[in-house]
Amino acid sequence: MLQQLNLEKVSKFREVGLLGFIIILVLVIQLLNPAFLTIGNLRDLLTNTAILSILALGMMLVLITRGIDLSIGATLALSGMITALTVSSVPGLNPILAILLGIVVGCFCGVMLGLLVSKIGILPIIASLGLMNVFRGLTFWTSGGEWVSAYQMPDSFKNIATSSILGINTLVFIAILTFLFFYYFVNTTITGRQIYAVGSNPDSASVSGINQTKILMLVYTMMGGLSGLAGVLWVSKYASAQGDTASGYELTVIAACILGGVSIAGGVGKVTGVLLGALLLGVLSNGLPLINVSPFWQMGIEGAIIMVAVLFNTNIREFIERNNRLRREI
Amino acid sequence: MKKKWLVHLLAVLLFGLLVACGGGEESGGDNTGSESSNENGTEETAGNGDGEQKRHAFVFKNTGNPYGEKIMEGFETAIDETGGEAILRSPDQPTVEGQIQIIEELIAQQVDSISVSANDYDGLQPVLTKAMNQGIKVLSADSAVNGDSRTVHINQADPEAIGRTLVQAVAEMMENEGQFAILSATSQASNQNLWIEWMETELESEEYADIELVEVAYGDDLRDKSVSETEALLQSYPDLKAIVAPTTVGIAAASKVITDKELQGEVLVTGLGLPSEMAEYISNGVSPWMYLWNPLDVGYLTGNAANALVEEEITGEVGETFEAGELEGEFEVTESDDGVEILLGDPFKFDPDNIDKWKDIY
C-alpha cells in the first residue's frame, strides 16, 4: 500500500516536473523571441507535433511490453507511398478511404513484426531492424525510386492535413482522438491493464492466465496501424512521398517516450507523460530555430535534454528500489 | 509443437516471397542501377564479356534518388548512341564504403571507364587511383572527387553562375528592395555553402544596397525540419519578402508552408528544385520561377566525355574540345580550382510556361 503510494507520487512528480520544464523552456524562448507565443506559431507547433504524438502513444505500448519497434519510420514511408500512389492514380478516392488504406498497410506491417516477436520469439530490436530494411526496400520497389509530388495528388487528399474539424486542425484533432482512446484503453480496459502486466513481470503474467502472444500481437499491430495512419498524414501534410520519408524518425519517437517517463525495461509508462514528452520535443524543434541557435548546437541541445531526462529516470528508479529494499529488511 | 513448426514454415515462406520481390526489382530495374547486390552488374557483363563493345560504368551516390536516376538515364542514352555498354551501379546508402566496394568490382571486371558521383571528395582517392593505374578512364560528375582521383569532372553549372543567378532572380522578384532569407540543406554541405558564398559575393554589389539577407537557415533536407525552419523565418521576420532555397527538399517544403498560410505573392520562393516537386507551386504562383540544371544532360554529357576519353579524342588537357551528341555546341576542358572540368552551362530556368512539359520528366 505504502509502496504504491510512493510510486504514484513519484510518477506524478515526474509529470509535473516535465510540465514545469516545458513551461520554463517556453518562457525562455518567449523572452528571446516574442513571436513564439502567438496564436499562429502555437498552431504550427501543435500541427507539427501531432504526428509525433500519435506515433509516441503506440510506441509507449511496445516499450511497456519490454519491446521496441525500429521499423515504424519505414512502415510510415511504405504506407505513405502506397497511399500516395493510389490517390495519384485514383484522384476521386475519398480521403477517409485513403486514411483507411494507410492504416491497413500499417497493420499488415505490424502483424508481420508481431508474428516474428510473439510466435517465433525473435528479439524485438532484431526483428524490427530486419523488417525496417524490408519495408524500406518495398517502398523503393513500389515507387520504382520515383517521388510522388504535390501536383500528382488531388486536393481532397492534401486537404486532410490543412482542413479543420470543429475549428481544430484535422491532424491535431486526430491526435486528440488517439490520445483519448489510449487514455481510456490503457487505464480502464482489461486488455490495457494486461499490457502492463506482461511488461512488468512476464512470468507472473502468464501464470495468472494472460495470453502473452495475444497481447504482443495486439501491441505491434496497433503500432503498425498508427504508423500507417501517420504515413498518410505525413504525405498529406508535406504533399510529397519519397522513398526515404521519415528515415530515422523512429528514434525521435522513442526519445519522446523516454522523455515522457516510459521505461525501456518495460512495465512503466503513462499516456499523459508521453504526450508531454512529445510536446517537449515539439517545443524544441519549433523554438530553437526561432531563437537563432546555431545548427551545430540544435542537435546537441536536444540530445542533452534527453540525457538529463534519462538520468533523472534512473536515479528515481534506484531511489525507489533502495527504499523498497530497506522496508523489506525492517 | 506442430503449430510452432507451421508458423516457422510460414515465416520462411513469407520471407522467400519478399526476397523474390526484391529479386524482381533488380532484374526489372537494370537501368535504374538498383540495390546494393552485385548480381546486377556481373550478370550483365558476363553475357557480353567476349564482345568488342566498350563498357562504361556510372556509379551514383545511392539508389532510389530520382535525380540520380535521370543522370544515369542520360548517361545510358549517350553510351547507347556510341554503341557501347552502360553499367549503372549505386550503393543503397549514400556512403563512401558502398561506392568503394562497387568500384573495386568494376575494376575486377575491367571496364573501360568509370564515372562517379561521389559521396566524399577525398575518400575515393585510393580506389580511383588504382583504377587509373590499370588504364581505366575515371571521371566524376555532379559531385566531384579531388583532382588527383580523376581525369576530368563534369560540372552541372558553375557554382559562381548559380550563386549570382539566384541573387539576380530574387532581386528581380523583390523589385530590388526588402528582406530575404536562405533555406539551405545541412550546414556542412559543401556545394550549398559554395553557392551561398557566391550569393553573398554578388550581394556586395551596389545595385543590391536595399536588399538584406537576414538569415541562413538549415533544414537538413528533411521535410519536417525544413517546414519548422520556414515557419520560424516567417515568425521572426514579418517583413520577409522572399526565401531562396538551393535544395530540392527545402524549396518544396518552403513553398508548401507559404501555400498553406496563403501568403502567395507576399513571400516569394525561388532556388534550385525538381520540376516535378515544384510544378504545383510554380503553377499557383508561390514560386514565380526557379532553376536547376538538366540531370539528363549532365548524364548525357558525362557519357559522351567518357566515350571521348576512351576513344582518345580527348586526354584531359586544358583547351581540348569535343562534341557531345545532340547537345549544342562544343564542350571545352577548362581549369578548375582542383584539376580540370567540363561545364554543362548556365542553370536552366523553370517558369509557368515550361513547367508542365518538365514535371513529368523528372
Domain ranges of chain A: 50-283
Of A9-13, B81-85, B247-251, B266-270, the least confident: A9-13
Helix (H) or strand (E) holding B330: strand B330-335
Q: What is the pLDDT of residue B293?
A: 83
In this structure, the answer to whether residues B112 and B227 fall within a common structural domain is no
A11 confidence band (pLDDT: 50, 70, 90): low
The answer to whether position B119 is within a domain reads yes
Query: Using the beta-carbon criterion (under 8 Å), do B14 and A48 form an inter-chain contact?
Result: no
B13 confidence band (pLDDT: 50, 70, 90): low
Pairing of strands B240-245, B113-116: unpaired
Exposure string (b/e) for A106-136, b if CB count within 10 Å is 16 or more? bbbbbebbbbbbbbeebebeebbebbbebbb
Helix (H) or strand (E) holding B66: helix B66-82
In this structure, the answer to whether residues B237 and B330 fall within a common structural domain is no
The answer to whether position B359 is within a domain reads no
Mean pLDDT of all residues in A90-97 = 92
Residue of A151, A153, A160, A284 to mutate for B, most B C-beta atoms under 10 A: A151
C-alpha R_g of chain A: 20
pLDDT at residue B42 greater than cutoff 60: no
Instruction: Report residue B329 as a C-alpha cell.
Output: 555546341
The Cα A191–Cα A176 span in angstroms is: 21
Q: What is the pLDDT of residue B15?
A: 56
The answer to whether position B13 is within a domain reads no
Burial (Cβ within 10 Å: 0-12, 13-18, ≥19) of residue B83:
exposed
Mean pLDDT of all residues in A55-59 = 96
Q: What is the pLDDT of residue B33?
A: 38
Picking from B63, B235, B256, the nearest residue to A41 by CB comes out as B235
Instruction: Report residue B124 as a C-alpha cell.
Output: 575515393
Picking from A35, A141, A295, the nearest residue to B21 by CB comes out as A141
In this structure, the answer to whether residues B173 and B286 fall within a common structural domain is yes
What residues of chain A, 24 to 63, have a C-beta less than 8 Å from chain B?
33, 35-36, 38, 40-41, 44, 48
- What does the pLDDT look like over B254-281, one tens digit per residue? 999 999 999 998 999 999 998 999 999 9
- What does the pLDDT look like over B183-223, one tens digit per residue? 998 887 778 888 999 999 999 999 999 999 999 999 888 89
Exposure string (b/e) for A245-274, b if CB count within 10 Å is 16 or more? bbbebbebbbbbbbbbbbbeebbbbbbbbb
B3 confidence band (pLDDT: 50, 70, 90): low
Which of A161-175, A224-238, A302-316 has the highest mean predicted lDDT (pLDDT)? A224-238
Selection from B223, B283, B11 nearest residue A155 by Cα: B283
Interface check for A276 against chain B (CB to CB < 8 A): the answer is no
Residue B183 belongs to domain spanning: 159-292
In this structure, the answer to whether residues B32 and B86 fall within a common structural domain is yes
Residues A237/A163, Cβ–Cβ less than 8 Å: no
In this structure, the answer to whether residues B136 and B168 fall within a common structural domain is no
One-letter amino acid for residue B256 of the chain: K
Picking from A137, A143, A149, the nearest residue to B276 by CB comes out as A149
The Cα A2–Cα B205 span in angstroms is: 75
Q: What is the pLDDT of residue B120?
A: 83
In this structure, the answer to whether residues B266 and B282 fall within a common structural domain is yes
Selection from B232, B214, B224 nearest residue B249 by Cα: B224
pLDDT at residue A321 greater than cutoff 50: yes
Percent of chain A with pLDDT over 90: 64
Q: What is the pLDDT of residue A307?
A: 83
Which residues of A are less than 8 Å from B240 in CB distance? none
Residues B259/B266, Cβ–Cβ less than 8 Å: no
Q: What is the pLDDT of residue A213?
A: 93
Query: Using the beta-carbon criterion (under 8 Å), do A150 and B256 form an inter-chain contact?
Result: yes
Residue of B19, B30, B226, B235 to mutate for A, most A C-beta atoms under 10 A: B235
In this structure, the answer to whether residues B248 and B323 fall within a common structural domain is no
Residues B234/B240, Cβ–Cβ less than 8 Å: yes
In this structure, the answer to whether residues B28 and B139 fall within a common structural domain is yes
Instruction: Report residue B81 as a C-alpha cell.
Output: 548512341
Instruction: Report residue B203 as a C-alpha cell.
Output: 550581394
H helices, E strands: number in chain B: 12, 14
Which residues of A are less than 8 Å from B260 in CB distance? 162
B155: which DSSP letter? E
Closest CA–CA distance from residue A207 to any residue of chain B (Å): 20
Q: What is the pLDDT of residue A266?
A: 86
- What does the pLDDT look like over B345-354, one tens digit per residue? 778 889 998 8
Q: What is the pLDDT of residue A5?
A: 55
pLDDT at residue B38 greater than cutoff 60: no
Instruction: Report residue A184 as a C-alpha cell.
Output: 481510456
Of A269-273, B22-26, B319-323, the least confident: B22-26
pLDDT at residue B147 greater than cutoff 90: no
pLDDT at residue B21 greater than cutoff 80: no
> What's the CATH number where B333 sits?
3.40.50.2300
Torsion of CA A41, A47, A51, A57, to 10 degrees: 80
A295 confidence band (pLDDT: 50, 70, 90): confident
B2 confidence band (pLDDT: 50, 70, 90): low
Q: Dihedral sign, CA of B293, B298, B300, B304?
A: positive
Burial (Cβ within 10 Å: 0-12, 13-18, ≥19) of residue B338:
middle
pLDDT at residue A19 greater than cutoff 60: yes
In this structure, the answer to whether residues B70 and B150 fall within a common structural domain is yes
- For helices B39-48 and B96-108, the axis angle rounded to 10 degrees is 20
The Cα A64–Cα A90 span in angstroms is: 40
Residues A43/B231, Cβ–Cβ less than 8 Å: no
Q: What is the pLDDT of residue B47?
A: 40
Picking from B69, B224, B235, the nearest residue to A35 by CB comes out as B235
In this structure, the answer to whether residues B275 and B314 fall within a common structural domain is no
Quote the mean pLDDT of chain B: 83
One-letter amino acid for residue A180 of the chain: L
Domain count for chain B: 2
Mean pLDDT of all residues in A158-165 = 91
Selection from B46, B49, B71, B76 nearest residue B61 by Cα: B71
pLDDT at residue B6 greater than cutoff 60: no
B4 confidence band (pLDDT: 50, 70, 90): low
Q: Dihedral sign, CA of A243, A244, A245, A249?
A: positive
Q: What is the pLDDT of residue B270?
A: 95
Q: What is the pLDDT of residue A12?
A: 65
Which of A230-234, A256-260, B45-49 has the highest mean predicted lDDT (pLDDT)? A230-234
Q: What is the pLDDT of residue B44?
A: 42
Q: pTM to 2 decimals? A: 0.79
Long-range pairs of B225-230 with CB within 8 A, sequence gap ≥ 24? B225/A285, B226/B183, B226/B250, B226/B253, B226/B254, B227/A48, B227/A238, B227/B253, B227/B256, B227/B257, B228/A44, B228/A48, B228/A285, B228/A286, B228/A289, B229/A289, B229/B183, B230/B183, B230/B254, B230/B257, B230/B258
Mean pLDDT of all residues in A154-161 = 92
A193 confidence band (pLDDT: 50, 70, 90): very high
A122 confidence band (pLDDT: 50, 70, 90): very high
pLDDT at residue B36 greater than cutoff 70: no
Q: What is the pLDDT of residue B259?
A: 94
The answer to whether position B228 is within a domain reads yes
Quote the mean pLDDT of chain A: 89
Which residues of A are less than 8 Å from B8 in CB distance? 120
Q: What is the pLDDT of residue A314?
A: 72
How many residue contacts between A and B have a Cβ separation below 8 Å?
115
In this structure, the answer to whether residues B29 and B81 fall within a common structural domain is yes
pLDDT at residue A3 greater than cutoff 70: no
Mean pLDDT of all residues in B175-182 = 93
Of A7-16, A253-262, A307-316, B111-120, the least confident: A7-16
In this structure, the answer to whether residues B127 and B225 fall within a common structural domain is no
Instruction: Report residue A262 as a C-alpha cell.
Output: 516510459
Of A293-302, B42-51, B172-181, the least confident: B42-51
